Amino acid sequence: MSDKRKVIIDCDTGVDDALAILLCLKNLDVVGITTVGGNVGLENTQRNTRYVTEVAGRTDVPVFAGYARPLLVPLQDASYVHGAGGLGNIQVPEPQKPLEKQHAVDFLIETFMTRDDVSLITLGPLTNIAHALLKEPRLVHRIPEILTMGGSTTWGNATPAAEFNIFVDPEAAKLVFESGIPIRMVGLNATRQQRASLEVYEQIKAMDSPAAQLAAKLFLDREGKPGRNSFCDACAVMWWIDSQVICKSAMMHVVVETQGEFTRGMTLCDGRGFQANRREVDMEHEKLYEPLPKGLEPNVEVALELDQARFTQVLLDTMRRYSEG
């Protein structure tokens, strides 16, 4: 009986999703992986996901295909970052492992309606999750918690305001963030504190498992891409693999902007409750009015700081364990 946390991963397997999946398959009890159009088209994200489970020696983990496009708008992918196929320059063969016939959304609904011991990790646009909530509204009381890579307390990447996963499907994100399901959000403000390095690449490259060799290729893809050399999704999953990797977080009110001419896809995080109450540390240096605004009712636990050294330690330890079988 595994004492590892049981999870479903919903992802749009690109480079950082792939590393995150390798981390989860060794450290968590992954009961299934659902895929969505995002970084690249669904045909590629589902194939990449099956490929990663094969490389990890975990073809027992079922992989499902979900929606190819967002709720309302056409898919704007990130092939300019992840390459046309989604895994950079890695040539992904057609995996032997078959795709499940069941639709991802039906798997999500069936699992959460029948089990109490599974949590949800999302690493891509929230399209599948939104469809599941629309199809089965009772899920809002059945999904214990969602750990999501998405958003930012500061600026975005897809636009100055919006992080990619939210930007691709803001309506889906709004629906999920307003659902009342407990959410942990790992945004760009935290993931930018993690940097891929050649030193870590060299250590992983020296390991002899197929998983480590894939991880090394993923590192190489990130190398030399300033601003794109962090593994956002790997940072997110670390919160449930080793909680000390996310070394500071705060409960905040977070809303998703869907209408803004310049801010569509922004996660507006209300930090007013955290405003300094001493002039010398208040970054606005404005006259503080009392009482301080307490901000709106928090609905999301937001990651604020990431321990890069601990991230690297957990990553290297996991990759070593792939060599041990």
Closest separation between CB of residue 39 and Ca ion, Å? 6
- Asked if 62 contacts 26 with a C-beta cutoff of 8 angstroms, the reply is no
123 binds Ca ion (CB under 5 A): yes
Q: How many residues does the structure list for the chain?
A: 325
**Binding partner of 157, given Ca ion, ligand RIB, none, CB within 5-8 angstroms per partner class:** ligand RIB
For Ca ion, give the closer residue by CB, 62 or 86.
Answer: 86
Tally Cβ neighbours within 10 Å of residue 217. 18
Return the DSSP state at 100. Answer: P
Return the DSSP state at 93. Answer: P
For ligand RIB, give the closer residue by CB, 22 or 109.
Answer: 22
Tally Cβ neighbours within 10 Å of residue 52. 29
Closest separation between CB of residue 49 and ligand RIB, Å? 12
Interface pick for Ca ion out of 124, 125, 151, 265 (rule CB under 5 A): 124
CA-wise closest residue to 235 among 195, 267, 183? 195
For Ca ion, give the closer residue by CB, 49 or 203.
Answer: 49
- List the x/- string, 204-233, binding to Ca ion by CB under 5 A: -----------------------------x
**What string of DSSP letters covers 22-70?**
HHHHHHSEEEEEEE-SSSS-HHHHHHHHHHHHHHTT-TTS-EEE--SS-
**Binding partner of 164, given Ca ion, ligand RIB, none, CB within 5-8 angstroms per partner class:** ligand RIB
For Ca ion, give the closer residue by CB, 39 or 209.
Answer: 39
- Asked if 215 contacts 319 with a C-beta cutoff of 8 angstroms, the reply is yes
**What string of DSSP letters covers 139-173?**
GGGT---EEEE---SS--SSSSS--HHHHH-HHHH
- List the x/- string, 4-33, binding to Ca ion by CB under 5 A: --------x----x----------------
**Chain residues in the site for ligand RIB (CB under 6 A):** 12, 14, 16-17, 38-39, 78, 123-124, 149, 157, 163-165, 232-233
